[in-house]
Copies of this chain bind each other. A is one copy, B any other.
């Protein structure tokens, strides 16, 4: 019993050992160089062959390390030129969030809800922060929509531009990125479902949609956050209803 107790404790004290791969080691070294300022954004790294010699490993290993950093947006490799430290290492966060969006199963309803939250909030934030240039861009997109009421694919393009311009106006790249992604996912569905119905109904829908967008823009111009959020929420809800009705009518995987 005493022996058992002792053995049990000894076993509990043992931790699984983890052997670091060579490429991970190199990743650590490079991130170290960057965070210590020895490698600054925009700097060019030595060529892969050169790095092989310096680190004393094969090219495969170097490439795996560089790939890891590139995936996170810390490095940026260009064919024929070399590998560079990304100008803004902030990209790392956005990339990571994007991956987070990628992995879980996306149901259309969840996406719509997420988009609703993001868009209404970005509209709110944009109302107090948008520069004049931002407002011009937004207005220009809206004008484009009005111009292309009868050409669905062109209309959608300006529609997308409208929403992204608002996201950009928040001056928050993370929000902009999240919205870009959710919107990107939905865009394919939207395109499919809007092409289906009769041109007449489509035209009617587009006209009321333009009106909704206009209300959003007016709220932004007046710098009224709550009003902007309200207008955007209404727009998303109404377009979502419309969109879901299409999905119901044309059920697809």
A interface with B by C-beta (< 8 Å): 23, 28, 31, 34-37, 60, 63-64, 67-68, 71-72, 74, 89-90, 92-93, 96-107, 110-111, 113-114, 117-118, 121, 125, 172-175, 177-178, 180-182, 185, 253
A179 to B225 alpha-carbon distance, docked (Å): 23
- In the complex this chain forms, how many copies of it are found? 2
Q: Are A113 and B178 within 8 A (Cβ)?
A: no
A173 to B209 alpha-carbon distance, docked (Å): 29
Q: Is the interface of A mostly helix, strand, loop or mixed?
A: helix
Q: Are B111 and A174 within 8 A (Cβ)?
A: yes
Contact of A177 among B28, B68, B104, B177 (CB under 8 A): B104
A88 to chain B, nearest CB (A): 9
A33 to chain B, nearest CB (A): 11
A197 to chain B, nearest CB (A): 25
Q: In the complex, what residues of B have CB within 8 A of residue A111's CB?
A: 93, 174
Q: In the complex, what residues of B have CB within 8 A of residue A107's CB?
A: 90, 93, 174
A49 to chain B, nearest CB (A): 16
A18 to B153 alpha-carbon distance, docked (Å): 23
Contact of A175 among B23, B28, B98, B117 (CB under 8 A): B117
